[in-house]
C-alpha cells in the first residue's frame, strides 16, 4: 500500500493536523493560537511539531505568513491507525475488534440498523 502507512504521526503531531483538517489551510501562528487554547502548548512547541510534520511530508508550507496546508486527508490517517490497532491488539482480526466494540457499549437501535446496512453493503 505504501503512502501513509510509512508515515508515523504521533498524537501530538495529529493535534496539529486536526486543526488543519477542521479549519482548512491556516498560518502557523493561527495553529499555535488554537493549540495554546485547546492544549496549553506554547508557540515553540507547536512550531516544532509543524516542522516535524513538514519533514514527514504531512504538511506543506507556503508564503505569505507561513501558511500550512495538510497534504494527507484525515480519512487516510484514520484508516492507517485503525489498521494498526487491529494488527496490534486484535491479531489482525477486524471481526474481534467489531465484537469488542459491540459488546462494550449499548447501541441505539438506530445505530444497530446503520451497522447492519454497512455489513450488508459489504456482502
Q: How confident is the model at residue 50 (pLDDT cuts 50, 70, 90)?
A: very high
**Distance in angstroms (rounded) separating the CA atoms of residues 112 and 88:** 26
Q: Which residue has the higher pLDDT, 119 or 57?
A: 57
Model pLDDT, residue 85: 86
Rounded to 5 degrees, φ, ψ at 59 are: -130, 145
User: In this predicted model, what pLDDT tens digit does every residue of 5-32 receive, in sequence order?
Assistant: 457 889 999 999 999 999 999 999 999 9
Cis bond before residue 76 (omega within 30° of 0):
no
- The answer to whether the bond into 58 is cis (omega within 30° of 0) is no
- Say how far apart CA 1 and CA 79 lie, in whole Å: 12
Q: What number is the average pLDDT over the span 36-43? A: 96
Q: DSSP letter at 107?
A: P
Residue found by looking up cell 516542522 in the block:
51
Q: What's the CA gap between 25 and 37, in Å, rounded?
A: 19
Amino acid at each position: 500500500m505504501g503512502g501513509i502507512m510509512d508515515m508515523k504521526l504521533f498524537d501530538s503531531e495529529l493535534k496539529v493536523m486536526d486543526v488543519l483538517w477542521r479549519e482548512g489551510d491556516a498560518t502557523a501562528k493561527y495553529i499555535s493560537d488554537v493549540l495554546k487554547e485547546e492544549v496549553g502548548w506554547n508557540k515553540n512547541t507547536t512550531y516544532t511539531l509543524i516542522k516535524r510534520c513538514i519533514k514527514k511530508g504531512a504538511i506543506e508550507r507556503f508564503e505569505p505568513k507561513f501558511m500550512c496546508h495538510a497534504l494527507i486527508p484525515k480519512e487516510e490517517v484514520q484508516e492507517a491507525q485503525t489498521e494498526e490497532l487491529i494488527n496490534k491488539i486484535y491479531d489482525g482480526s477486524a471481526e474481534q475488534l467489531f465484537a469488542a466494540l459491540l459488546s462494550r457499549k449499548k447501541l441505539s437501535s438506530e445505530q444497530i440498523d446503520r451497522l447492519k446496512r454497512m455489513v450488508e453493503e459489504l456482502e
